[in-house]
Amino acid sequence: MSERDPPELSARDLIVRVARVYMKPRWKGWVTALLAAIAVAYLTTKLVQIIEPATNDLMVFHKPGQLIILPLTIALYAVARTVAQFIQATLVNRIGNGVVGDVQVQLFGKLVRADLSRLRSQHSGAYVSSVLYDAGLIREAATAGVINYTQNLLIVLGAITVMISNDLVLSLVMVAGLPAAGWIMRRFSKRTTKAARGAMVETSALSTAIMESLDGVRVVKIENREDYEEARVAEVVHRRQEHLIKGANARSRAAPATELVMTLLTAVVFAYAGWRSLNGHMTVGAFVAFMFALGTASQSLRQLANLQTVFAEGMSAARRLFAALDVEPEVRERPGAAPLPVGQTTIRFEDVGFTYGAEGPPTLSDVAFEVRRGETVALVGPSGGGKTTILNLIPRFYDPSCGRVLIDGHDLRDVTLPSLRRQIALVTQEPFLFDDTIRANIAYARPDASLAEVEQAARAAAAHDFILNLPNGYDTGVGEAGARLSGGQRQRIAIARAFLKDAPILLLDEATSALDTESEAQVQAALKRLMAGRTTILIAHRLSTVRGADRIYVIDQGRIVETGDHDSLMRERGLYARLARSQDLEAETAA
């Protein structure tokens, strides 16, 4: 039941795709930023070029006429360059953050629609890290990275041109040194790529470890495991640090190593230029200009070396991003799927088999039953028998591995997902509430519902009175996952949500297991009202709650092993009777 994983993309495919998806919609700004970067490179080259006449005319030939013109020209070039740099930076920031926003929204959109099996296969911390961290890395590579790279590359080329026009032989000596610098950059780039990948994996592990410790904070406290959790997180932090240090080292060594090559070449330049000057073949201006060009080129080369890391990290992030975006959910609508008509809402399982994951033993085998409109059917049986799995197949959280699930004769795989899920209300063991107001939580399925409708649903769910006693009534915030409410209150909010949704099919998963007697009585009464007139499938561990069901299916090891009402099943003296007896015994012991 796993989704199909896409093949890994090559570097070229990644670049093309980042350009198509994120850069194309912003091409005007991006091209302007690139033009600004080219202007910066051009003006830098101009500044390099002017050094020779400036030095010769002012220092060697002492031309007073140039005293104003040359410094003024330099100042003009410098101001123009700064303007171009401002334009470039502003655009790069705007485009970059736009890209981050796009990536984050797209990634979350994909996650929230992904198969349950996939979402369950990874900790949510990993998704959080991906949404927050990877997006930033892609931004850096796709905007600042590309534009600065172009700029610095052009500056290097410009500086080399100036050097060649000055002295061909000397330039050839310098150009001969470039492959050495290139080799160093490639070497370090490999290391940074590796470190970037490692850091990403550990960033996701870190979010996971932190979220897990906080989610389970009560267990951590009661078991005095704070030190252990701290050490666990410290270990991940340490591993992440190792990768970050390796990456940073490679990055910071790449620049000085490139610089070393350039400085060694400078020594060669001095030797050669000194010899030429002694013979009267080189002016001071030419030499100073050459050295200035060399300095500019080497600074840009250093920047290029640094940018290798940005690209390496961006590529790793883009690879992860697209791998996540390209996963096609298994549970999806067939082409031409039609809405499920609102009809009798008879649910039918036909020889359904189901296996979690690609292999492993089947969780369900030959499950066949029918629930007609308005009936209440209970699923009972030992823990792990497959009751929740049966329930999960009805809203298509998963699809059966074999057999069919039908509503009013329509195979669920042939109907549209929203139309199917509109007809189903689900109240689970641990109802989930969002960190929002009571009203928003009740109206989650119908955000347009009026306050009167929300109140009516809350009354039916025996929740209205306690809601009015809260500080802000229906506008009271419930806290993270409803933490400010009791278990019974959360249940009743979930029941109110189901009332408001008013769906013809009701799925109840052990809705009253965690409540005290008084809460349970209130919740039971509310559920009874909710079930009236709806097609209901109810899972319960406590058999006392299923006595009123029209039929009871006893599920054991993925199969229906007994069927009947309470009395007939008791007479059968099978598994149900045994479970009932053991629960009576427990009740007596508890009393």
Query: Would you tell me which residues interact with ligand ATP (CB under 6 A)?
Result: 120, 356, 363, 383-389
Min separation Cβ 379 and ligand ATP, Å: 8
- For residue 145, the 8-state DSSP code is I
In terms of CB distance, is 94 or 559 closer to ligand ATP?
559
Residue 363 or 376 with smaller CB distance to ligand ATP:
363
Q: How many residues does the chain have?
A: 591
Total Cβ atoms within 10 A of residue 419: 16
- With beta carbons less than 8 A apart as the criterion, state whether 511 and 498 touch: no
d(CA 122, CA 120): 6
CB count, 10 Å around CB of 479?
12
Residue 570, C-beta contacts closer than 8 angstroms, at least 6 positions apart: 576, 577, 580
Distance CA 305, CA 378 (A): 67
Closest distance to ligand ATP from the beta carbon of 212 (Å): 17
- Residue 167 CA to residue 282 CA, distance in Å, equals 9
Shortest distance in whole angstroms from residue 384 CB to ligand ATP: 4
At 348, is the secondary structure helix, strand, or coil?
A: strand
Least distance to ligand ATP, CB of residue 435, Å: 25
CB 412 within 8 A of CB 406: yes
Cα 24 off chain centre by: 23
Our CB check for ligand ATP shows the closer of 116 and 233 to be: 116
CB of 494 to ligand ATP, least distance (A): 17
Based on CB atoms, which residue is closest to ligand ATP, 363 or 489? 363
Q: Which is nearer to ligand ATP, 115 or 375 (CB)?
A: 115
Measured from the CB of residue 537, what is the shortest distance to ligand ATP in angstroms?
Answer: 12
- CB-side neighbour CA atoms (13 Å) of 567: 2
SS3 at position 407:
strand
Least distance between ligand ATP and beta carbon 408 (Å): 25
Q: Which is nearer to ligand ATP, 166 or 363 (CB)?
A: 363
Q: How far is the CB of 557 from ligand ATP (least distance, A)?
A: 9
- Whether the CB-CB separation of 514 and 486 falls below 8 Å is answered with no
Choice between 310 and 543, CB closer to ligand ATP: 543
Give whichever of 397 and 466 is closer to ligand ATP, judged by the CB atom: 397
Q: Would you say 356 or 369 has its CB closer to ligand ATP?
A: 356
Of 283, 524, 334, nearest in space to 427 by CA: 524
- Rounded to whole angstroms, the Cα distance separating 9 from 18 reads 12
Three-state SS for 537? strand
SS3 state of residue 559: strand
CB of 392 to ligand ATP, least distance (A): 7
CA neighbor of 412 nearest in space, from 195, 76, 421, 484: 421
Structure tokens at 268: 């060669």
Smallest gap from Cβ 586 to ligand ATP, in A, equals 16
Q: Which is nearer to ligand ATP, 210 or 380 (CB)?
A: 380
* Residue 493 token pair: 């909010």
